[in-house]
């Protein structure tokens, strides 16, 4: 296996928060006070909003399908019910899950600021002047597109199998959108060619590699509309080799290869 | 597809000073115009055309008069049955209106009014582009000025009969110190974002009252139990909370707290409930300092990402019973969702057979269970207005139940403007609004008397806020807007010396 550590050649801002305190940011409920008309209705149903989700009794679970029960254990801490469904594991959530199922994990305490993914997880620290100038808001429609920045944000969770160089944890160390993810987060981009890997994960690696190594401007956002949880845009993309991650080389495009996702880290 | 309101007006040539379909504030997604609303709109167009012609007036100009407004209510009566007191003569003679509805008949105190810190937050633009917003008699522009304090003063005091306002808070907290530990002041307290922070509400209040040379405005404070959080103990940072509490009480001179249980600006990891231990600690500390007035946003929950369930009013029962000396004003009458939402009936959000609305019924049940509880007050901002446009029968249920269970002496007037523009159309609607005989008989509601309306419009709020109804309240001077504009331009939209300005006023 070839581990590729891509250093800060991304053309992003020089900011890097690995090991540093979580910056102050505007919380989602404050964002939604203004953005509720366009955002709220779809966001509540979005898988990104449901990485931790309560059942009708208010008990919290990991994943939108309520896969594993969680139990609050102090500020920014969860115990997670072990696979035996009897014992509560006090370390696993912080050491494995928090980085991608919660928001703003403190590097020192591994305590998260809020459950599931807050606006900050993708949009970063909001510039207070973004209300007057939308170009200041990361990933707004007017924000200048930077392919490497986009795959950094998406890849911070979707590059499954990566590892923080500084913390050793399987999720980035206090990654803040705008940071160079790959400065500290080690990923094996050769996974893009691993036929044994499921098509979904392989697709992510292939796309990130195309951006980082080949200068591609096609990113996750070229095809995926995050807030509306739609991939309809991908039908407009020209056919290329990457399509065959999911589609057959021949035959109707509507036919999609079936695949299963398994993860030792996530225990499924 | 959305089109701009002014484009739609221009294309269709229709104007109505009363919205002819559901509008959205920022707090819910609008639903499409229904058939009866279309009928109302058609009638308004037809009737106004005829009446304007008879009066030899331009129709658009006619709709800008009180006769136009009367015509709207007349059209709504035709479609929905008699919900509004309007005579035919009022649609043709302004004198008839002036005689029947004399200005100043009611003392109007709006406990839910907002502006922003010079921030065009997208609401009016979003609202204005939606089809539902068509046919209103005014334009809601989406720019900095539209949300400004200047426009706020214009719409509240110059374009409406409102006598007094409560500048009401929105979610957010203040940063107390800089990195060196120096206490921050004014705009520096909200360096990251501050839609309507406590310091600004207080400053605006002082400016209004100084202009009027009398008390026309009071303000609330945003502080809540989860705003300053000790992440080590996972409990409120009591020292920081007390510091902010004393600042808001003593320096900002707030008249009520404004709580949003379902928001977490302090990144505490959750919201809170009015009956939990942290809230009780806050109440006790506030009580010690003489503040026993809590205004709580309930309902309209889903702007919260994860904490919307905490906007359910169920916690008010224990909080009110445990703190009988505390006043609880429940904003939006706890209406969970706007009647305009596309699936609210399917989701059983409104039951036409009983007139129950989700979460509003919980607030009503609290009073039913506790008939002797007298310290809870339903407020009707973004409650009466949306319901009366959606269907006046819904408004009859909403107001009917509030009065039936809590009493006319406990229902509090609020509008949620300036999100809605000027509150005048809501004021006019409520003046003329009446619950039908049939509804009173079937559901046990009470006809609204002028005395009831006087209490709801302002006497109740005045009593709670200890406002002297006999005190002289001066109109804002004619040049007030110019003076505000000049001050605003000189100061800039986000003044770094804002706090100093209002502190000097207090001195």
Q: For residue B406, how many other CB atoms are within 10 A of its CB?
A: 22
Residue B155: which residues within 8 A CB-CB, separation 6 or more?
B417, B418, B421, B422, B423
Residue ranges of chain A whose pLDDT lies below 50: 1-11
User: pTM for the full model?
Assistant: 0.85
Helix H or strand E segment including B80: helix B66-80
Per-residue tokens: A115: 């459950």
Residue B24 above 50 pLDDT?
no
CB contact, 8 Å: B312 with chain A?
A: no
pLDDT at position B158: 87
CB contact, 8 Å: A57 with chain B?
A: no
Nearest CA among B100, B42, B104, B99 for reference residue B71 = B42
B306 to A36: CB separation less than 8 angstroms, yes or no: no
Backbone angles phi, psi at A46, to 5 degrees: -80, 135
Mutate to test the interface with A, among B132, B305, B344, B495 (most CBs of A within 10 A): B305
pLDDT at position B136: 41
Residue recorded with tokens 């919307």: B308
- Is A47 within a domain? yes
B193 to A126: CB separation less than 8 angstroms, yes or no: yes
Q: pLDDT tens-digit profile of A115-164?
A: 999 999 999 999 888 887 889 999 998 999 999 999 999 999 999 999 99
Per-residue tokens: B491: 């100061």
ipTM of the complex in this document = 0.80
**Measuring CA to CA, how many Å separate A75 from each of A113, A115, A259, B277, B433?**
8, 11, 38, 16, 50
Mean pLDDT for B102-125 is: 81
Q: pLDDT tens-digit profile of B414-438?
A: 998 877 777 888 999 999 999 999 9
- Is A162 within a domain? yes
| Alpha carbons within 13 A on the beta-carbon side of B227 | 27
CB contact, 8 Å: A122 with chain B?
A: no
pLDDT at position B33: 63
Question: What is the number of residues in chain A?
Answer: 268
How many structural domains is chain A composed of? Answer: 1
- Is A259 within a domain? no
Beta bridge partners of A79: A71
Residue recorded with tokens 């005989």: B437
In whole angstroms, what is the distance from residue A247 CA to residue A192 CA?
16
Mean pLDDT for B225-231 is: 95
CB contact, 8 Å: A61 with chain B?
A: no
Per-residue tokens: B28: 């819910």
Angle, helices B360-369/B315-322, rounded to nearest 10 degrees: 40
CB contact, 8 Å: B342 with chain A?
A: no
Residues of the domain holding A54: 28-245
pLDDT at position B139: 55
B269 to A43: CB separation less than 8 angstroms, yes or no: no
* Strands (DSSP E) found in B20-117: 109-113
* Strands (DSSP E) found in B278-357: 293-297, 327-331, 350-351, 356-357
Mutate to test the interface with A, among B270, B303, B340, B382 (most CBs of A within 10 A): B303
Min Cα–Cα distance to chain B from A221, Å: 22
Nearest CA among B124, B122, B245 for reference residue B173 = B245
B103 three-class SS: coil
**Strands B293-297, B327-331: parallel, antiparallel or unpaired by DSSP?**
parallel
- Buried b vs exposed e over A140-172: b needs ≥16 C-beta within 10 Å? eeeeeebbbbbbbbbbbbbbbbbbbeebebbbb
B26, B175, B233 ranked by CB distance to A36: nearest: B26
Give the dihedral sign, CA B447/B448/B450/B455: positive
Nearest CA among A129, A160, A137, A142 for reference residue A264 = A160
Q: For residue A198, how many other CB atoms are within 10 A of its CB?
A: 16
Residue A232: which residues within 8 A CB-CB, separation 6 or more?
A225
User: Is residue B138 packed enough to be buried (19+ CB in 10 Å), middle (13-18) or exposed (0-12)?
Assistant: middle
DSSP 8-state symbol, B82: S
pLDDT > 90 fraction of chain B, expressed in percent and rounded: 57
CB contact, 8 Å: A36 with chain B?
A: yes
In whole angstroms, what is the distance from residue B33 CA to residue B134 CA?
9
Q: pLDDT tens-digit profile of B32-85?
A: 566 777 888 888 889 989 999 999 998 888 887 889 889 989 999 999 889 999
In this structure, are residues A118 and A104 in contact, taking their beta carbons and an 8 Å threshold?
yes
Nearest CA among B9, B105, B10 for reference residue B458 = B105
CB contact, 8 Å: A56 with chain B?
A: no
In this structure, are residues B378 and B410 in contact, taking their beta carbons and an 8 Å threshold?
yes
Mutate to test the interface with B, among A23, A24, A25, A29 (most CBs of B within 10 A): A29
DSSP for B184-204, written as a single string: P-GGGGSSS--SS-HHHHHHH
Q: Starting at the edge strand that comes first in sequence, how are the strands of the sheet with A78-81 ordered?
A: A52-54, A60-62, A68-72, A78-81, A88-89
**Measuring CA to CA, how many Å separate A182 from each of A11, A12, A61, A101?**
12, 11, 30, 20
In chain B, what are the domain boundaries? 5-100, 109-464
Q: Considering only CB atoms, which chain B residues are within 8 Å of A118?
A: 305
B147 confidence band (pLDDT: 50, 70, 90): confident
The architecture of the domain spanning B109-464 is Alpha-Beta Barrel (3.20)
Mutate to test the interface with B, among A37, A38, A93, A109 (most CBs of B within 10 A): A37
**Average pLDDT over chain B, rounded to an integer:** 84
B309 to A29: CB separation less than 8 angstroms, yes or no: no
B121, B229, B260 ranked by CB distance to A131: nearest: B121
Q: pLDDT tens-digit profile of B250-292?
A: 999 999 999 999 999 998 988 999 999 999 999 999 999 999 9
In whole angstroms, what is the distance from residue B170 CA to residue B15 CA?
32
Beta bridge partners of A69: A61
Residue B119: which residues within 8 A CB-CB, separation 6 or more?
A34, A131, A132, B144, B147, B195
B126 to A44: CB separation less than 8 angstroms, yes or no: no
- Is A257 within a domain? no
Residue B310 above 80 pLDDT?
yes
**Measuring CA to CA, how many Å separate B16 from each of A62, B71, B78, B84?**
50, 9, 16, 16
B357 three-class SS: strand
């Amino acid at each position: 296996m070839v581990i590729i550590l891509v250093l800060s050649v991304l053309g992003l801002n020089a900011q890097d928060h690995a090991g540093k305190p979580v910056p102050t940011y505007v919380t989602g409920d404050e964002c939604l006070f203004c953005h509720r008309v366009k955002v709220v209705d779809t966001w509540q149903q979005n898988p990104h909003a449901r990485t931790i989700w309560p059942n009708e009794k208010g008990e919290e679970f990991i994943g939108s399908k309520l896969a594993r029960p969680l139990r609050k254990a102090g500020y920014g801490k969860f115990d997670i019910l072990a696979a035996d469904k009897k014992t509560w594991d006090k370390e696993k959530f912080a050491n494995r899950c928090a980085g991608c199922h919660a928001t703003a994990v403190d590097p020192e305490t591994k305590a998260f600021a809020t459950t599931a993914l807050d606006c900050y997880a993708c949009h970063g620290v909001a510039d207070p002047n973004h209300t007057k100038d939308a170009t200041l808001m990361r990933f707004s429609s007017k924000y200048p597109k930077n392919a490497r920045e986009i795959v950094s944000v998406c890849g911070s969770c979707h590059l499954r199998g990566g590892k923080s160089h500084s913390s050793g944890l399987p999720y980035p160390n206090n990654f803040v959108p705008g940071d160079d993810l790959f400065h500290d987060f080690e990923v094996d981009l050769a996974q893009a060619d691993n036929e044994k890997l499921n098509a979904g994960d392989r697709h992510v690696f292939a796309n990130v590699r195309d951006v980082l190594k080949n200068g591609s401007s096609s990113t996750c956002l070229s095809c995926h509309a995050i807030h509306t949880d739609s991939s309809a845009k991908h039908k407009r993309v020209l056919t290329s080799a990457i399509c065959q991650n999911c589609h057959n080389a021949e035959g109707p495009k509507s036919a999609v290869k079936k695949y299963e996702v398994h993860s030792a880290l996530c225990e499924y | 597809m959305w089109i701009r309101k002014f484009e739609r007006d221009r294309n269709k040539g229709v104007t109505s000073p009363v919205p002819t379909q559901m509008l959205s504030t920022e707090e819910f997604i609008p639903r499409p115009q229904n058939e009866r609303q279309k009928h109302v709109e058609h009638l308004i167009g037809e009737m106004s055309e005829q009446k304007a012609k008879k009066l030899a007036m331009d129709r658009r100009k006619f709709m800008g008069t009180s006769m136009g407004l009367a015509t709207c209510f007349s059209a709504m009566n035709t479609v929905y049955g008699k919900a509004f007191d309007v005579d035919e003569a009022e649609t043709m003679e302004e004198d008839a209106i002036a005689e029947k509805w004399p200005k100043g008949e009611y003392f109007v105190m709006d406990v839910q009014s907002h502006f922003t810190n010079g921030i065009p937050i997208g609401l009016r633009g979003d609202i204005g582009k939606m089809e539902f917003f068509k046919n209103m008699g005014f334009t809601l522009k989406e720019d900095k000025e539209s949300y400004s304090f200047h426009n706020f003063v214009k719409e509240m005091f110059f374009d409406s009969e409102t006598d007094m306002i409560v500048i009401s808070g929105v979610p957010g907290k203040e940063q107390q110190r800089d990195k060196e530990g120096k206490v921050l002041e004014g705009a520096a307290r909200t360096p990251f974002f501050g839609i309507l922070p406590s310091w600004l509400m207080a400053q605006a209040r002082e400016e209004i009252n100084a202009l009027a040379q009398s008390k026309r405005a009071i303000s609330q404070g945003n502080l809540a139990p989860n705003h300053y959080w000790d992440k080590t103990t996972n409990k409120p940072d009591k020292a920081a909370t007390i510091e902010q509490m004393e600042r808001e009480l003593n320096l900002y001179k707030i008249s009520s707290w404004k709580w949003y249980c379902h928001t977490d600006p302090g990144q505490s990891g959750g919201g809170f409930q009015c009956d939990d231990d942290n809230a009780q600690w806050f109440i006790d500390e506030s009580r010690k300092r003489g503040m026993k007035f809590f205004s709580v946003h309930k309902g309209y929950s889903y702007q919260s990402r994860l904490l919307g369930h905490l906007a359910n009013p169920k916690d008010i029962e224990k909080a009110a019973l445990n703190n009988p000396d505390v006043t609880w004003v429940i904003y939006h009458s706890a209406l969970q969702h706007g009647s305009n939402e596309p699936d609210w009936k399917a989701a059983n959000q409104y039951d036409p057979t009983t007139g129950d609305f989700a979460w509003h019924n919980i607030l009503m049940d609290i009073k039913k269970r506790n008939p002797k509880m007298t310290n809870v007050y339903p407020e009707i901002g973004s409650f009466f207005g949306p319901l009366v446009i959606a269907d006046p029968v819904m408004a009859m249920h909403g107001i009917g139940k509030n009065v039936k269970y809590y009493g006319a002496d406990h229902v509090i007037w609020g509008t949620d403007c300036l999100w809605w523009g000027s509150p005048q159309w809501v004021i006019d609607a409520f003046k003329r609004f009446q619950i039908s005989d049939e509804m009173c008989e079937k559901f046990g509601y009470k006809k609204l008397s002028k005395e009831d309306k006087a209490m709801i419009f302002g006497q109740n709020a005045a009593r709670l806020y200890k406002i002297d109804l006999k005190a002289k309240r001066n109109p804002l001077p004619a040049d007030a807007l110019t003076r505000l504009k000049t001050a605003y331009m000189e100061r800039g939209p986000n003044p770094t010396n804002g706090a100093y300005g209002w502190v000097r006023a207090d001195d």
